[in-house]
Protein backbone atom coordinates (compact mmCIF):
# COMPACT_ATOMS: atom_id res chain seq x y z
CA UNK A 1 0.00 0.00 0.00
CA UNK A 2 1.50 3.39 -0.95
CA UNK A 3 2.36 5.70 1.90
CA UNK A 4 0.16 8.74 2.45
CA UNK A 5 1.33 11.97 0.86
CA UNK A 6 2.71 14.31 3.51
CA UNK A 7 1.65 17.93 3.01
CA UNK A 8 4.15 20.58 4.06
CA UNK A 9 2.79 24.13 4.32
CA UNK A 10 5.18 27.09 4.24
CA UNK A 11 3.89 30.43 5.50
CA UNK A 12 5.04 34.05 5.35
CA UNK A 13 3.18 37.34 5.21
CA UNK A 14 2.38 37.99 1.55
CA UNK A 15 3.29 34.64 -0.05
CA UNK A 16 5.40 36.46 -2.64
CA UNK A 17 8.92 36.22 -1.14
CA UNK A 18 10.05 34.00 1.72
CA UNK A 19 7.50 31.19 1.49
CA UNK A 20 7.95 31.11 -2.31
CA UNK A 21 11.73 30.68 -1.88
CA UNK A 22 11.19 27.98 0.76
CA UNK A 23 8.58 26.18 -1.35
CA UNK A 24 10.78 26.17 -4.46
CA UNK A 25 13.82 24.92 -2.56
CA UNK A 26 11.96 22.27 -0.61
CA UNK A 27 10.23 20.92 -3.73
CA UNK A 28 13.58 20.64 -5.49
CA UNK A 29 15.33 18.98 -2.53
CA UNK A 30 12.52 16.48 -1.93
CA UNK A 31 12.35 15.26 -5.53
CA UNK A 32 12.56 11.49 -5.51
CA UNK A 33 12.56 11.30 -1.69
CA UNK A 34 9.00 10.16 -1.05
CA UNK A 35 5.44 11.36 -1.33
CA UNK A 36 5.39 15.04 -0.39
CA UNK A 37 3.16 17.90 -1.40
CA UNK A 38 4.77 21.27 -0.75
CA UNK A 39 2.42 24.26 -0.64
CA UNK A 40 2.61 27.84 0.61
CA UNK A 41 0.34 30.65 1.76
CA UNK A 42 0.45 34.11 3.29
CA UNK A 43 -1.10 35.54 6.43
CA UNK A 44 -1.88 38.92 4.82
CA UNK A 45 -4.70 37.50 2.72
CA UNK A 46 -3.26 38.57 -0.62
CA UNK A 47 -4.36 36.41 -3.55
CA UNK A 48 -2.98 36.12 -7.08
CA UNK A 49 0.22 38.16 -6.68
CA UNK A 50 3.36 37.14 -8.57
CA UNK A 51 6.60 36.64 -6.68
CA UNK A 52 8.74 39.77 -6.61
CA UNK A 53 11.20 40.21 -9.47
CA UNK A 54 14.02 39.76 -6.94
CA UNK A 55 12.64 36.38 -5.82
CA UNK A 56 12.28 35.24 -9.42
CA UNK A 57 15.90 36.29 -10.09
CA UNK A 58 17.40 34.76 -6.93
CA UNK A 59 15.57 31.49 -7.58
CA UNK A 60 16.54 31.42 -11.26
CA UNK A 61 20.17 31.69 -10.10
CA UNK A 62 19.47 28.31 -8.41
CA UNK A 63 17.81 26.88 -11.55
CA UNK A 64 14.40 27.03 -9.89
CA UNK A 65 11.56 28.71 -11.81
CA UNK A 66 8.96 30.28 -9.51
CA UNK A 67 7.61 32.77 -12.05
CA UNK A 68 4.32 30.88 -12.34
CA UNK A 69 3.60 31.08 -8.61
CA UNK A 70 0.58 33.11 -7.51
CA UNK A 71 0.04 34.05 -3.88
CA UNK A 72 -2.71 32.49 -1.83
CA UNK A 73 -4.22 33.43 1.51
CA UNK A 74 -3.81 31.13 4.48
CA UNK A 75 -7.03 29.26 5.25
CA UNK A 76 -8.15 27.01 8.08
CA UNK A 77 -8.41 24.22 5.48
CA UNK A 78 -4.69 24.69 4.64
CA UNK A 79 -3.81 24.42 8.32
CA UNK A 80 -6.03 21.38 8.89
CA UNK A 81 -4.71 19.47 5.85
CA UNK A 82 -1.02 20.14 6.49
CA UNK A 83 1.09 17.49 8.20
CA UNK A 84 3.87 20.00 8.89
CA UNK A 85 3.65 23.81 8.97
CA UNK A 86 6.82 25.89 8.73
CA UNK A 87 6.56 29.63 9.30
CA UNK A 88 9.04 32.46 8.77
CA UNK A 89 8.27 34.54 11.88
CA UNK A 90 6.88 34.08 15.37
CA UNK A 91 3.87 36.24 14.47
CA UNK A 92 2.98 33.77 11.70
CA UNK A 93 2.97 30.94 14.24
CA UNK A 94 0.70 32.98 16.51
CA UNK A 95 -1.69 33.57 13.60
CA UNK A 96 -1.77 29.86 12.69
CA UNK A 97 -2.44 28.83 16.29
CA UNK A 98 -5.13 31.50 16.76
CA UNK A 99 -7.00 29.97 13.79
CA UNK A 100 -6.31 26.37 14.78
CA UNK A 101 -4.98 25.70 18.29
CA UNK A 102 -4.74 21.98 17.44
CA UNK A 103 -1.94 22.83 14.97
CA UNK A 104 0.42 23.40 17.94
CA UNK A 105 2.21 20.07 17.52
CA UNK A 106 2.89 20.52 13.82
CA UNK A 107 3.75 24.23 13.52
CA UNK A 108 7.37 25.36 13.73
CA UNK A 109 9.60 28.26 12.85
CA UNK A 110 11.62 27.25 9.78
CA UNK A 111 14.79 28.60 11.39
CA UNK A 112 14.33 26.31 14.41
CA UNK A 113 12.86 23.14 12.87
CA UNK A 114 15.34 20.29 12.94
CA UNK A 115 17.92 22.18 15.00
CA UNK A 116 19.97 19.95 17.25
CA UNK A 117 19.73 20.51 20.97
CA UNK A 118 23.50 21.08 20.97
CA UNK A 119 23.17 24.05 18.58
CA UNK A 120 23.01 27.50 20.08
CA UNK A 121 19.52 28.91 20.54
CA UNK A 122 18.81 31.64 18.03
CA UNK A 123 18.68 35.17 19.40
CA UNK A 124 16.12 36.10 16.75
CA UNK A 125 14.53 33.11 15.02
CA UNK A 126 12.48 35.30 12.64
CA UNK A 127 13.55 35.26 9.00
CA UNK A 128 13.42 38.91 7.86
CA UNK A 129 11.01 40.02 5.14
CA UNK A 130 13.04 41.18 2.12
CA UNK A 131 10.19 43.08 0.44
CA UNK A 132 11.40 46.46 -0.78
CA UNK A 133 15.03 45.67 0.00
CA UNK A 134 17.95 45.40 -2.48
CA UNK A 135 18.72 42.19 -4.36
CA UNK A 136 21.67 41.37 -2.06
CA UNK A 137 19.29 41.31 0.91
CA UNK A 138 17.12 38.76 -0.95
CA UNK A 139 20.23 36.63 -1.45
CA UNK A 140 20.99 36.78 2.28
CA UNK A 141 17.40 35.78 3.08
CA UNK A 142 17.71 32.95 0.54
CA UNK A 143 20.81 31.65 2.38
CA UNK A 144 18.98 31.68 5.74
CA UNK A 145 15.97 29.90 4.23
CA UNK A 146 18.23 27.35 2.50
CA UNK A 147 19.86 26.50 5.83
CA UNK A 148 16.40 25.85 7.33
CA UNK A 149 15.29 23.80 4.32
CA UNK A 150 18.45 21.65 4.45
CA UNK A 151 17.74 20.89 8.13
CA UNK A 152 14.08 20.17 7.29
CA UNK A 153 15.00 17.67 4.56
CA UNK A 154 17.46 15.95 6.91
CA UNK A 155 14.81 15.68 9.63
CA UNK A 156 12.21 14.34 7.16
CA UNK A 157 14.69 11.71 5.97
CA UNK A 158 15.20 10.59 9.58
CA UNK A 159 11.47 10.05 10.16
Active site residues: 12, 18, 129
Give me the numbers of helices (H) and strands (E) for the chain, helices first please.
5, 4
Q: Annotate 47-114 with DSSP letters as a single string.
A: -SPPPPHHHHHHHHTTT---TT----B--HHHHHH-SEEEESSHHHHHHHHHH-GGGGGGEEETTTTT
Give the torsion sign (CA, 96, 101, 105, 111). Answer: positive
> Cα(103)–Cα(109) distance, rounded to whole angstroms?
13
Amino acid sequence: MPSKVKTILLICTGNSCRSVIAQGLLKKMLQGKGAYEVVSAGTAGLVGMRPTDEVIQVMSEQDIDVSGHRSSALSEKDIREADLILVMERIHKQIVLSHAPLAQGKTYLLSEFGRQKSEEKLVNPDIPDPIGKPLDFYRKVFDVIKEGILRTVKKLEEQ
